Chain A
């Protein structure tokens, strides 16, 4: 599929990754345009249902990113989120949903270059996996 451009939704925290992505832009670093960034107060707010909704809405890949451990603005939001991700990834895999389509990451406000690299590599990776037809087919069967 040479023309396939993946749709990637990035769920990021306001304090670190969003600022980091902003730094990428203000540093004039170019990165893959396939990503749509959604800003959250904290990774602790990023409910697993939001990820499912992103897939149901046609996302081929998802990035979830926030502050590094011990850097959370609310001190422990990312630690709680990390536990939820561990459990959620295991469950997705058990259900036969490809967890390679969800990339978790820590990107601080100073890591503009890491953000660019993360998005580029994820876009490349998802391009290789192709469109997420398995999930999008389910959406076709629904009434929405």
Chain B
């Protein structure tokens, strides 16, 4: 039994938590989310390089919340998601445990302060490769960028898998479901696809922790991560603000500084 399975068994057996949300083996060897509620089932848990999903997405589901206190198997981005959700008053202190799998032992983080300390030791900046890709894309001409996104968005099906996969897209009533007025047209055509993708990106500006689940969920492979990383980068350079590093910080777009840059305003 791996250290992770052992830890999960222990937590469930002692009733410290009612459910362990982790990764299990799905069809074709793919990793999938599993919800372990009995100590005897702890052996179903796995953790390896295929386990990429940000499991914090389930923390916002009422049917998961009903299960009771959860222990969540986390990756670095998952921890930042938890802090961001806490900062947005979406999850309460002591409502979950975070299990950080590592080679030797399982680190258990029980408080937001412990998660903050853990995240502080990680590098939350975009990676060098991500920055380079962003730089390359920004260096393209305006028309080239437009053609690129037109081609990308023309494949969008409006399936909203990006929204479903995103742990921070938790509104119970999304703007796309509002039809008075109809902000986003229902059919998947180029104008509506652009509007949807602009809106999705804007609503995540200053909140997205760059976990990459939207891009992984997209069935037609639209590189949504580029939009998110652009906003992550702009919010950091413009406002010196980073999401998901504190359980108490304000979102960049719900606060301001009197001396924010305004060279573009007449």
**Residues in A lying within 8 Å of B, measured CB to CB:** 48-49, 52-53, 56, 69-70, 76, 79-80, 82-99, 103-106, 118, 134, 138-139, 141-144
A142 touches B256 (CB 8 A): no
**Residues in B lying within 8 Å of A, measured CB to CB:** 137-138, 142-150, 175, 183, 185, 187, 189-192, 194-195, 198-199, 201-202, 205-206, 226-227, 230-231, 234-235, 238-239, 252-258, 260-262, 264-266
**Can you pick out 11 interface pairs between chain A and chain B where the beta carbons lie within 8 Å of each other?**
A49-B183, A52-B195, A83-B256, A86-B264, A87-B234, A94-B137, A96-B148, A134-B146, A138-B150, A142-B185, A143-B189
Query: What total count of A-B pairs have CB within 8 Å?
Result: 123
B146 touches A95 (CB 8 A): yes
Query: Who on chain B is nearest to A98 by CB?
Result: B142
* Bound Cα distance from A117 to B95, whole angstroms: 57
A87 touches B227 (CB 8 A): no
* Bound Cα distance from A105 to B262, whole angstroms: 10
B226 to chain A, nearest CB (A): 8
- Residues of chain B within 8 A (CB-CB) of A93 are 142, 145
Query: Who on chain A is nearest to B202 by CB?
Result: A48
A142 touches B231 (CB 8 A): no
B256 touches A56 (CB 8 A): no
A139 to chain B, nearest CB (A): 5
Query: Who on chain B is nearest to A78 by CB?
Result: B256
Q: At the interface, is chain A mostly helix, strand, loop or mixed?
A: helix
A89 touches B185 (CB 8 A): no
* Bound Cα distance from A53 to B99, whole angstroms: 45
A111 to chain B, nearest CB (A): 11
A134 to chain B, nearest CB (A): 6
Are A96 and B198 also in contact (CB < 8 A) when A105-B266, A141-B189 are? no
- Residues of chain A within 8 A (CB-CB) of B187 are 142-143
* Bound Cα distance from A9 to B107, whole angstroms: 56
A86 touches B261 (CB 8 A): yes
A97 touches B253 (CB 8 A): no
Partner of B149, one of A83, A95, A106, A139: A95
Query: Who on chain B is nearest to A96 by CB?
Result: B146
Are A91 and B202 also in contact (CB < 8 A) when A49-B195, A106-B266, A138-B190 are? yes
- Residues of chain B within 8 A (CB-CB) of A86 are 234, 238, 260-261, 264
Partner of A139, one of B150, B191, B226, B256: B191
Query: Who on chain A is nearest to B192 by CB?
Result: A142
